[in-house]
């Protein structure tokens, strides 16, 4: 069963572009370099709020075991490398995990 791992982080408007660059050049390539079995993709969303910028990541795995292989037995724990922490204002300490039950493309 497909698992979606959802995480939120917020940064200042001044650091938003810097954080996005860190994601694209360091964090995402670092995740991909781990060659995690069952890891399929990551989607990154950016939302400009009134006083800060929100980022949401949704990682797709084949199974919960693949998530555990990525993050360990405490798989709910967030994955935020130090370089990302340096520009984030706040972030979810845990990721939420959902079973994908339907996908429709129109």
Task: Report, as ranges of residue numbers, the positions in the chain whose pLDDT lies below 70.
Answer: none
Chain Cα centroid distance, residue 104? 23
Q: What is the largest CA-CA distance in the chain?
A: 41
Q: How far apart are CA 88 and CA 22, in angstroms?
A: 11
CATH class name, domain 3-99: alpha beta
pTM, full prediction: 0.92
pLDDT of residue 35: 94
Q: How far apart are CA 97 and CA 106, in angstroms?
A: 25
What's the CA dihedral at 15, 16, 21, 22 to 10 degrees?
60
Q: Which two tokens stand for residue 50?
A: 């009134």
Residue spans of the domains in the chain: they are 3-99
């Amino acid at each position: 069963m497909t698992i979606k791992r959802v995480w939120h982080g917020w940064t200042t408007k001044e650091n938003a572009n810097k954080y996005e660059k860190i994601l694209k050049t360091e964090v995402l390539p670092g995740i991909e370099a781990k060659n995690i079995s069952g890891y399929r993709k990551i989607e990154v969303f950016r939302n400009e709020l009134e006083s800060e910028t929100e980022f949401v990541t949704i990682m797709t795995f084949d199974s919960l075991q693949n998530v555990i292989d990525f993050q360990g037995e405490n798989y709910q724990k967030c994955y935020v490398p130090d370089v990302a922490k340096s520009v984030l204002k706040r972030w979810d300490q845990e990721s939420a995990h959902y079973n994908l039950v339907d996908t429709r493309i129109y």
